């Protein structure tokens, strides 16, 4: 795969050295082959491997509809080191979400979850912990059910554990589902964002990840920029100025208006 092919797939290489590569996964792309895959589908693992011309080792994942930073090891030793950090919960992941309603300014969602979000026969739940803080609130002047307008919150989220669909399931559990979530979300609000704002993606993005470099043990912080569709929503809601420039496309940081 040539660089132009990778760019056409919407994938940006954020950081690379001899042991680690970090990329910005677009919404709608799976990290690797999984349930629901179709013939000929391009996966992030495959795209990055072909672009770099070497094998890459996955150490964590993002849901298909979630965008943002994904880190791979470039050899098995680096991957094992990174995987151990994830298992020890020493990796800090930060997400940005738009959710229905006005959430509390700060909160902790401590709610066990079944390991597999898809299984009809539920497995015994395992501990799951999510910490969040509200960055902004806003309204859209479109009727939703009995209400004449919709209320929404911009939320910074840090999952302590890494369960399947954890953020999405946790915010559904506190009655503030993530906008654009077709599995755990609110169809009426999703429809408003799709029809009125032209946004059909899940409004959940992994914007930052912090870990120790597997080689020199230096503290690493890698940020990914939000895509145009997500930024269009933020601009419409008047929320762009609430975010650090490292999370926004360069054109937005140069001309936020």
Give me the active site residues, please.
63
How many C-beta atoms surround the C-beta of residue 99 within 10 A? 30
Q: Where are the beta strands (DSSP E) in the chain?
A: 12-16, 20-25, 57-58, 67-73, 92-100, 106-110, 129-140, 150-159, 204-212, 219-223
Please give the Cα distance from 108 to 171 (Å, whole number).
11
Provide the 3-class DSSP secondary structure of residue 198.
coil
* CA distances in angstroms from 30 to 54, 133, 143, 164, 211, listed in the order given: 19, 28, 34, 14, 23
Backbone angles phi, psi at 110, to 5 degrees: -110, 90
* CA distances in angstroms from 4 to 1, 7, 64, 101, 107, listed in the order given: 8, 5, 22, 41, 43
């Amino acid at each position: 795969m040539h660089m132009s092919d990778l760019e056409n797939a919407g994938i940006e290489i954020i950081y690379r050295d001899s042991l680690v590569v970090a990329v910005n996964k677009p919404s709608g792309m799976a990290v690797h082959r999984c349930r629901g895959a179709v013939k000929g589908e391009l996966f992030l693992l495959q795209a990055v491997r072909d672009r770099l011309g070497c094998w890459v080792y996955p150490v964590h994942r993002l849901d298909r509809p979630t965008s943002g930073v994904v880190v791979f090891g470039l050899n098995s030793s680096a991957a094992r080191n990174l995987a151990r950090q994830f298992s020890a919960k020493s990796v800090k992941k930060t997400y940005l979400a738009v959710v229905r309603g006005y959430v509390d300014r700060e909160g902790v969602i401590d709610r066990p979850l079944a390991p597999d979000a898809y299984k009809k026969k539920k497995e015994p739940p395992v501990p799951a912990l999510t910490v969040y803080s509200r960055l902004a609130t806003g309204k859209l002047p479109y009727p939703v059910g009995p209400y004449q307008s919709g209320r929404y919150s911009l939320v910074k989220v840090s999952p302590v554990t890494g369960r399947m669909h954890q953020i999405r399931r946790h915010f559904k559990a506190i009655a503030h589902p993530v906008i654009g979530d077709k599995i755990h979300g609110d169809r009426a609000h999703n429809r408003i964002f799709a029809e009125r704002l032209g946004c059909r993606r899940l409004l959940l993005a992994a914007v930052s990840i912090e870990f120790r470099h597997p080689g020199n043990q230096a503290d690493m912080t890698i940020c990914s920029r939000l895509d145009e569709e997500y930024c269009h929503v933020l601009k419409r809601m008047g929320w762009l100025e609430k975010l650090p420039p490292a999370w926004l496309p360069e054109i937005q940081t140069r001309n936020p208006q």
